[in-house]
A and B are shown apart, each in its own frame.
Chain A
Amino acid sequence: MTDSPPADRTTDDGDATGLEPWEVFRQEKEGDPMRHGGSVMAPDAILAVHYARELYGRRQESHRLWIVRRADVHDLDDPDLLNPPLDRSFKKPGGYVMRDKLAAARERSGQAKPKASSKSHRTTEPTR
């Protein structure tokens, strides 16, 4: 989302029909992370849930849905906070070379290298 939450949702994102946008998050399988699926327009939470179910779940493609009123989402896209001008590369973990240390530690403990990371690990990576 790039737009700010409207101060008055009935006159900004909402319109004369009384509809407003709701963001839908989907979990495909149990244990998967919730991912943003899209949005629906609805006049209230009950119908928003129905429409989310129809548009993002009627083909049995979702294990769980979260339906959030867009007006309740706190939006942050301020570049001063997210992309400050000074170099912050030292805050990234990429600066450390861990591979040899990890290999040595594994050898000492007799543990095998873990298998390729599952999808759910992606949630811990920094997003753009």
Chain B
Amino acid sequence: MTQSPAAADPTVDPGLRGPIAELLLSLADDEFVIGFSDSEWTGIAPLLEEDVAMSSIAQDELGHAKAFFDILADVLDDGRDGDALAYDREPDAYRHCRLVDGRRGDWAFAIVRRWLYDTADDVRLGALAGGTFGRLADLVAKIRREERYHLMHANAWFERLGHAGDDARRRFEAAWDRLAPTASTVFAPLEGEAALVAAGILAAPMATLDSRWRETVEPTLARLRLTAPPGPDGIERSRLDHSDDFRWLWEEFTSVRRIDRSATW
């Protein structure tokens, strides 16, 4: 990642800096953590072609994370660049949602997680596109063009495993039972979201986006005979508390940075 300019973004209303930073951190960390977690499939995906596809999608997510971190660096203007924001925090300071907090799991788990995340992220990005913070809205417009492909890929596999029989369907259902209760954490309320909605940066409160997402996925769930995810109750701390699985992943993705802070590609 390149050094970002050390001047605070002048287009940001100082009063909105906190809420915008919170939003950017949640977006960046979601993409960063699911990107790193899915990159664990490199070399061991079910077939060579899928290996390339999953790795490429994981790489795209890290690219999106970098773009969010770079904007965040300018908004915070505290001397940290994108790399520092991505790598130099303790595990507890990450703000990714619980849906992406777990270990890689088996292929059904990876696909169900990707599908839940991509369908939810699509709704969230839709509420950020056309927002009044120009830099973020422009970036989101670009990211959505790539996420469209991710969504197609996730849909193809989700339908495939959902219609499969025997072991594949059993693993699919087991993954669903484990992951569906955490899906709404993508829409965990942000402290400053009222200010973001009032300023036109976010089109609607997270709770509204959660309902919108549920309407979107409902026909697919009915077709694949899946129970709707439980309601978004008790998710207030779901971007604050992380699992030991995440601590393990954190050790992995910070390992080079912790050995040599100046390491570059």
State whether the Cβ of A68 lies closer than 8 Å to any Cβ in chain B. no
Q: Interface residues of A, CB < 8 Å — how many?
A: 15
Known pairs A50-B153, A50-B156; A19 contacts B53 (CB<8 A): no
CB pair B49–A42 under 8 Å, yes or no, is yes
Chain A 40-56, CB within 8 Å of chain B: the 1/0 string?
Answer: 11111011001101110
Q: In this assembly, does A99 line the interface, its C-beta being within 8 Å of a C-beta of chain B? A: no
A3-19 interface mask toward B, CB cutoff 8 Å, 1 = contact, 0 = none? 00000000000000101
Contact with B along A77-92 (1 / 0, CB 8 A): 0000000000000000
- Complex alpha-carbon distance, A19 and B152, angstroms: 20
Please report the number of residue pairs spanning A and B whose Cβ atoms sit closer than 8 angstroms. 33
Could you write out 23 A-B pairs with CB less than 8 Å apart?
A17-B47, A19-B47, A40-B49, A43-B160, A44-B160, A46-B152, A46-B156, A47-B50, A47-B156, A47-B157, A47-B160, A50-B53, A50-B153, A50-B156, A51-B50, A51-B52, A51-B53, A53-B149, A54-B49, A54-B53, A55-B49, A55-B52, A58-B56
Hey, which bits of chain A sit against chain B, CB under 8 A? 17, 19, 40-44, 46-47, 50-51, 53-55, 58
Q: What are the 4 tightest A-B residue pairs by CB atom distance, in nearest-first order?
A: A51-B49, A54-B53, A46-B156, A54-B52
Additional A-B contacts beyond A47-B50, A51-B52, A58-B56 (16; CB < 8 A): A40-B49, A41-B47, A41-B48, A41-B49, A43-B160, A46-B152, A47-B49, A47-B157, A47-B160, A50-B53, A50-B152, A50-B153, A51-B49, A51-B50, A51-B53, A55-B49
Binding site for A on B (CB under 8 A): 47-50, 52-53, 56, 149, 152-153, 156-157, 160
